Structure 1
């Protein structure tokens, strides 16, 4: 569910400059993940910090399991759905 909500939020933010700016502004706070989630929740997107962090971890673990022991090291950056979201948002036009 969190993954779909992130996709929906990203889709909307790519089309709404004020939403994009508000999301990017959360990265400048003392608690960026919490503030990002609070903003998302206030706008109707069901994203919370625990599920957001678990999403990246679960995806990374699934990728490691899929190689049946052939790849023992995680690929850096694949486990961070939060950072992936912002990478996509920042580079969107």
Structure 2
């Protein structure tokens, strides 16, 4: 299962279950938030690891960059745009 499919499933459950959403949000307070988040995903039956999310975030940002600037190296990096975990947490906080 790919990262986006897992994140969509976690997003759906978080939307339906406020306690689960809070559990995911609370990972931000952990010493290693990404590891805590992935542990919850694995508890839910999804094989998700830190490198999966980090790689997906970088690939997602690169795709956006290519689509808007032809992938030019002179395009500035938008802060946080390659951090998929942080973007996901911001989305959860807004639910």
TM-score normalised according to structure 2 size: 0.86
2:88 paired with 1:85: yes
Contact 1:10-1:89 at 8 Å conserved across structures = yes
For structure 2, the residue ranges without an aligned partner over 5 or more in a row are: none
Aligned residues: 92
Larger deviation: 61-70 or 49-58?
61-70
Match for residue 51 of structure 1? Answer: 52
Whole-Å separation in 2 of the counterparts to 1:42 and 1:26:
14
Deviations 1:39-84 (A, max 9, x none): 1111112321001011110111122223223861122222111011
Pairwise CA distance, 1:21: 1.6
Gapped regions of structure 1 (runs ≥ 5): none
Which residue of 2 is the match for residue 36 of structure 1? 37
